[in-house]
A = this chain, B = another copy of it.
């Protein structure tokens, strides 16, 4: 194949069937997000490079698409939706309603290794609350993602929750040295992938002493069912109250589908409190299809120090609490396909066939009338064999074919073929076609 006829590695075309499927998924998700009071927002694909640098670690920086533009500016393509959100908050802080609740469904770019089944252009679907430290905000993010997934037809959704403050406290309480906490979290976070035995081994490797390790595991393996468990078994530990409160609110909102998992860390990014991850027990191979948490320090990176000459120089606004979640669209679509929850919806309901050039005016009139009634209608532009036209209809997943040949035209009749069942019906008067199609 000529190079000209390829997309870049890690980039994809979405042909109509797939594009329509994604459009419908986005629509469903948007409707749920709006029901929870979230608003859409859009930011540019290109940003000044310095806005994105220093936010994703050295690994992230390596994967960033950046270049110098014709105006000699260093620019970079959007790497995620969170850092641009933080910029927006800092830039427009006085104009925005606070707390600021926004969703954004948009592509991001990372020059990642495509062999891992990753794409270099992929969609993120984020929902965030900025400017509130209330745990209700954490619960709302989780609840609207949960409802979005249910709205897509997924019955079994499990939400694993934890709190980063609590995990830190558990580690320190177990006697893990302060300078080993980060290493230990990195290891514990892999529990799901590598199993307990391997985690114990790696904890030893990073220098966690046997006693600390033992105490740690005792705590991590506590079976915690509800807020009472948390409050009694983890009494006094920082973050335990937050986690208990989160559980209470989720239950208040009818979400019994949470699992408290003290090993959940969600990587080493910017999380500072609640963390969560969503898995689908009926499609476990796709791992977590959504996740997120509280990140109270990110937005502050964009806020300048208060004017030193001003009075009462408290560091106002330097720390802006925030919590958010993200649905991984590619994994979600794969899971929905696996669960047969993608309805290959009809694009056009009707194809008006074209059998005879002399009947063009009649066809055009009928096409117009059907469309005016609101029915999605396709017309085969040039006369062709019926067979060819029905094949076209089939490729477009069209439901009905309206067939009017010279005989039917003379008698003012029409034949309607249901392309799913093969059943043909005669409509005795062409003027009844619209009614017929709207009923069927």
Q: State which of B7, B13, B42, B377 has its C-beta within 8 Å of the C-beta of A14.
A: B42
Q: How far is the CA of A51 from the CA of B4 in the complex (A)?
A: 5
Chain B residues, Cβ within 8 Å of A218: none
A16 at the interface (CB under 8 A from B): yes
**Most chain B CB neighbours (cut-off 10 Å) among A1, A17, A41, A47:** A41
Q: State which of B1, B41, B134, B371 has its C-beta within 8 Å of the C-beta of A35.
A: B371
Chain B residues, Cβ within 8 Å of A348: 34, 37
Known: A9-B71, A19-B40, A23-B30. 20 other contacts (CB 8 A): A2-B304, A4-B87, A5-B90, A8-B46, A8-B48, A11-B44, A13-B91, A14-B40, A15-B88, A16-B102, A20-B39, A22-B42, A34-B376, A36-B377, A37-B378, A39-B396, A45-B107, A45-B109, A45-B121, A67-B68
CB distance from A325 to the nearest CB of B (A): 16
Chain B residues, Cβ within 8 Å of A92: 13, 15
| Contact string against B for A residues 283-304, beta-carbon threshold 8 Å, 1 for contact and 0 otherwise | 0000000000000000000101
Q: How far is the CA of A137 from the CA of B75 in the complex (A)?
A: 41
Chain A: interface size category: 35 or more
Chain B residues, Cβ within 8 Å of A12: 44
CB distance from A398 to the nearest CB of B (A): 8
Q: Is the CB of A97 within 8 A of B14?
A: no
A364 at the interface (CB under 8 A from B): yes
A253 at the interface (CB under 8 A from B): yes
Q: How far is the CA of A47 from the CA of B3 in the complex (A)?
A: 11
CB within 8 Å for A91 and B48 given contacts A16-B40, A35-B377, A381-B137: no
A407 at the interface (CB under 8 A from B): no
A392 at the interface (CB under 8 A from B): yes
A222 at the interface (CB under 8 A from B): no
Q: State which of B45, B90, B375 has its C-beta within 8 Å of the C-beta of A45.
A: B45
| Contact string against B for A residues 360-374, beta-carbon threshold 8 Å, 1 for contact and 0 otherwise | 110011001001001
**Most chain B CB neighbours (cut-off 10 Å) among A5, A11, A70, A379:** A5
Q: Is the CB of A136 within 8 A of B379?
A: yes
Q: Is the CB of A5 within 8 A of B137?
A: no
Q: Is the CB of B65 within 8 A of A39?
A: no
Q: State which of B1, B16, B96 has its C-beta within 8 Å of the C-beta of A41.
A: B16
CB within 8 Å for A252 and B347 given contacts A5-B87, A40-B23, A42-B13: no
A336 at the interface (CB under 8 A from B): no
Q: How far is the CA of A224 from the CA of B347 in the complex (A)?
A: 38
CB distance from A255 to the nearest CB of B (A): 10
Chain B residues, Cβ within 8 Å of A41: 13-16, 19
A413 at the interface (CB under 8 A from B): no
Q: Is the CB of B347 within 8 A of A37?
A: yes
List 24 A–B pairs whose Cβ atoms lie within 8 Å, in order of A's numbering. A1-B91, A2-B304, A4-B302, A5-B87, A5-B302, A7-B44, A13-B43, A13-B44, A35-B376, A36-B376, A36-B377, A36-B378, A37-B396, A39-B396, A44-B121, A45-B45, A45-B77, A45-B121, A46-B65, A71-B111, A252-B361, A253-B364, A253-B368, A254-B368
Q: How far is the CA of A58 from the CA of B7 in the complex (A)?
A: 24
A395 at the interface (CB under 8 A from B): yes
| Contact string against B for A residues 60-96, beta-carbon threshold 8 Å, 1 for contact and 0 otherwise | 0000010111110101010000000001101110011
A334 at the interface (CB under 8 A from B): no
A98 at the interface (CB under 8 A from B): yes
Q: Is the CB of A16 within 8 A of B39?
A: yes
A277 at the interface (CB under 8 A from B): no
A140 at the interface (CB under 8 A from B): yes
CB within 8 Å for A91 and B347 given contacts A40-B16, A121-B45: no
Q: Is the CB of A50 within 8 A of B302?
A: no
CB within 8 Å for A19 and B39 given contacts A8-B46, A382-B132: yes
Q: Is the CB of A40 within 8 A of B13?
A: no
A99 at the interface (CB under 8 A from B): yes
